[in-house]
Amino acid sequence: MKWNVRIGIILVALLCMTGCGRVKKDVVVEDTYKGNVKDEVADDIIGEDEEAEVPVEEEKVILPTPLSGLYKDMVVEKMDYVPLPEDKKVAYITFDDGPCKSTPQLLEVLRKLNVKATFFVSAQYGSDEEVVEWLKQIKADGHEIGVHSYSHRYNEIYSSVKNYLKDFKKMDDLIVKATGEHARLFRFPGGSNTGYNASIREDIIKEMTSRGMVYYDWNAYNGDCDGFSKSEMIAKAVKESSYRNKSIVLMHNIPKKDLVIESLPSIVKELSEKGYVFEALDGTVEPIQFVKSSEIVPVEEETTEEEATEAENAKENEAEQNTAKERV
């Protein structure tokens, strides 16, 4: 009898153990299934409330094709001009002809004044290696760089469109080496209406604008190439910049022109007191241009009284500016 009881107890225990294993296995399966159901429900909810995200393809930038077919890689994306708010007064300080040995000193002054400027550069005052290093410093400080000319030799660069491009390319190559980018901006040596480029200026303008590039002349000048004293430069720059809300101020960064650097703090201070801010040209600023090709001249509209006054003020300064053009 005792053995029968013992055997019965053992059988019951074995049955319990076997049953527990089955229950546990069923629970695991059930949990796994429930998990899948939750995922499916979640997917259904997402599908109802939200559309699946589709990867957005980046817009491909289509670069322009130059008219001449020369130096096809020397092109940039054309920027749209951004209108200046009517109540905003901006002075765009520009420096021509540099860089040179005084450029680091000029950059230090601009840094202290917290002013960004635009440098239309040449390679007149240093080796290619020195020029590249100075350009790197200009770029590192957040200023804009445009081509002025590699050689600045009017008779050579304005002898043909091909020679203009050849000189331009040499300067642009140095800019690319220093910044990794082609120049978007440029300024004609002597201004766009210099007599040296009269026979080919329209062709140059069409060629360069076909490359997405934009050229800037000026509507204010500090007189630094006319033998002006420091106080005279300050007065001239402030006076001419104050005629309008948007002033592109011509200055030079060349050897033996330390007065330009010394006059900057006063010019910036006086214009700031008149409500001006200082920015660099970047291709979105509508340019001041002495001459435009027939393709880019805007449709003439009736002249307003304000525009007539501005034109009259501009004429008063034209004689003074013309004196500087031969030295730009």
3-state secondary structure labels for all residues of 160-189: CHHHHHHHHHHHHHHHHHHHCCCCCEECCC
b or e along 20-32 (b: 16 or more beta carbons within 10 Å of the residue's beta carbon)? eeeeeeeeeeeee
pLDDT at 34 over 60: no
Amino acid at 201: R
- pLDDT at residue number 25: 39
| Mean pLDDT to the nearest integer, 232-248 | 98
Mean pLDDT score of the chain, rounded to an integer?
Answer: 82
The pLDDT-based confidence of 313 (bands split at 50, 70, 90) is low
Is residue 16 pLDDT above 60, yes or no? no
Domain 89-290+303-325 listed as CATH 3.20.20.370: yes
Residue 318 has pLDDT above 70, yes or no: no
CA distances from 295 to 43, 192, 204, 207, 299 (A): 58, 15, 13, 12, 10
* pLDDT tens sequence across 55-88: 666 667 788 899 999 999 999 999 999 999 999 9
The pLDDT score that the predictor gives to residue 62 is 82
3-class SS at 192? Answer: coil
What is the pLDDT, as a whole number, of residue 244? 96
pLDDT value of residue 63 = 86
Q: Is the per-residue pLDDT at 114 higher than 90?
A: yes
Residue 59 has a pLDDT of 67
- Residue 42's pLDDT is what? 46
Residue 245 pLDDT greater than 50, yes or no: yes
Tell whether the torsion through CA atoms of 78, 248, 317 and 256 is positive or negative. Answer: negative
The predicted-structure confidence for 40-62, as pLDDT tens digits, reads as follows: 444 444 455 555 566 666 667 78
Residue 40 is predicted with a pLDDT of 47
Q: Where are the domains of the chain?
A: 89-290+303-325
CA distance 38 to 44: 10
Q: Is a pLDDT exceeding 70 seen at residue 103?
A: yes
Average pLDDT of the residues in 101-122: 98
Decide if pLDDT at 15 tops 50. no
**Percentage of the residues of the chain whose pLDDT score is greater than 70:** 71
Q: What pLDDT sits at residue 310?
A: 54
Distance of alpha carbon 40 from alpha carbon 75, whole angstroms: 53
Q: Which helix (H) or strand (E) holds 155?
A: helix 154-157
Q: What is the mean pLDDT of residues 136-144?
A: 98
Cα dihedral 224, 229, 234, 238, rounded to 10, equals -60
Dihedral sign (CA 263, 268, 273, 276):
positive
Q: How confident is the model at residue 6 (pLDDT cuts 50, 70, 90)?
A: low
- pLDDT tens for residues 272-287? 999 999 999 999 999 9
Given this model, what pLDDT does residue 45 score?
Answer: 45
φ, ψ (nearest 5 deg) of residue 280:
-100, 150
Copy the structure tokens of residue 298.
């805007």
| R_g (Cα) of the chain, nearest Å | 35
**119 — pLDDT class (breaks 50, 70, 90):** very high
pLDDT of residue 292: 79
